[in-house]
Chain A
């Protein structure tokens, strides 16, 4: 993170213990406004647990911090209104139309209904989805679903959007279109916090952290990580850092 950047995520010694198992073990990180932060790790490293704490869905057992300026322990409800969340596995209701999905998610995020209408019209126009608004989501192609899922998570203009494996199982062309959407959102000042198993996508991030067995083992820009580990690609960096992982989710 650059020094003059406004911090939107700041956590210190964040820890989550389930009985004798330490899922997340004293992680410390800062993310600046507009950054694309890649949160990588092997299966079972503790990414999902850490992300749940950042989203205000789970309390840390030690450590703490702020997300979008709110305390993750005492202001979890406030956090939920100032972030967006999207995952590949579940993000849209297949049996609702495009408009119904947008309306539902925006309402849950606390937007006023007149704002939803005008903002949705604007978005339909930019995305070229005007003639799709009354189509059931299960009938639209995957590429559109992805755009819509991202839009549903960001219509309320959150400070930060959390993307949990947003491109799992998606073809190379559609994955790339999705990343262009991330680039655009980030250039407009939105902070992106993203997990992925596609390591070419790690190269597109401003900074990367790699979690191994609950701890952050590496944290820097892709270029500096590659230099540090004498690796040509992020794929190599990941294999070096994650190869001794003991846990597998």
Chain B
């Protein structure tokens, strides 16, 4: 598969702060590629460079073979960009916004309507409503429609699901899967680790550096080793007690249980006895299945 986005040694500094440090990444054509990292990791800066809104201090990047610095005008016509903050015109109506973005790219609204029909269809009930008066979910659908109206080869989505409920998030990812079927490459950033598992490949980013890149399945391999679940009726004392136990590297909440990352030689049976001696009578420890969230916590910890 060809790489449609190629990023080579990109560095970006804002006075004292290094927002991106020697970032190198390739995004295969036709894939859904996830950029996973917390607020402040440098995700938005990377989007701004790929969309030609900022120039890098060092390094090069191309999208569909077009250089982000030299070919910025042409590059802008092959990408669709949905920034994190709602950036449509609140005082234009739903259909005016769509027409406006179509005319910016020199296309008619109907030309590529098939692409946005499943998304825009849900907005057709209120074509005359001001964009600023739409609900969060509807704003998101309109923004996505506007980003797609010129049929871009690459769709760049910066945290599209922050603040969105679990059901709507699933629906949004179903829409992305449909767009992928139509051949559009998607680079999407998120701080929801469960979404990482819906990507073909992901890059974990923290403090301006890429920590790791691979398929989600490959990244979590080997993570289950030495990882346990722990539970008791009194969870907070259990958390504190586990952190003091020998052989425990890290212990953190994980939904209804705690996850305990341990070193070689950790003996769960002994640990249970130890916890019971400390008054946690119903403490249980049993093997856990690690996921991207565990990986991120581990990498973030090692990174200080």
Q: Which of A17-25, A108-116, A153-161, A239-247 contacts B (4 or more CB under 8 A)?
A: A239-247
Residues on B with C-beta less than 8 A from A203 are 255-256
Flag if A173 contacts B297 (CB, 8 Å): yes
Is A172's beta carbon under 8 Å from chain B? yes
Residues on A with C-beta less than 8 A from B100 are none
Give residues 64-100 of A contacting B (CB, 8 Å).
Answer: 88
Flag if B162 contacts A172 (CB, 8 Å): no
CA distance A39 to B193 in the complex (A): 22
Per the CB 8 Å criterion, the residue count for chain A at the interface is 39
Give residues 118-144 of B contacting A (CB, 8 Å).
Answer: 135-138
Flag if A197 contacts B252 (CB, 8 Å): no
Is A174's beta carbon under 8 Å from chain B? yes
Is B104's beta carbon under 8 Å from chain A? no
Flag if B296 contacts A239 (CB, 8 Å): no
- Encode contact with B along A195-216: 1 for CB under 8 Å, 0 otherwise: 0011110011000000000000
Residues on B with C-beta less than 8 A from A105 are none
Give residues 209-249 of A contacting B (CB, 8 Å).
Answer: 222-223, 233-235, 238-239, 242-243, 245, 247-249
Flag if A199 contacts B166 (CB, 8 Å): yes
CA distance A172 to B297 in the complex (A): 7
CA distance A242 to B236 in the complex (A): 29
Residues on A with C-beta less than 8 A from B39 are 142, 169-171
Residues on B with C-beta less than 8 A from A165 are 163
Is B175's beta carbon under 8 Å from chain A? no
Distance in Å: Cβ of B175 to nearest Cβ of chain A: 14
Give residues 17-68 of B contacting A (CB, 8 Å).
Answer: 37-41
What are the 6 closest A-B residue pairs judged by CB atoms, nearest first? Answer: A171-B38, A248-B137, A249-B135, A200-B255, A203-B256, A203-B255
User: What are 11 A-B pairs with beta-carbon distances under 8 A?
Assistant: A43-B137, A43-B163, A142-B39, A171-B41, A173-B297, A174-B38, A176-B253, A187-B236, A203-B255, A233-B256, A239-B167
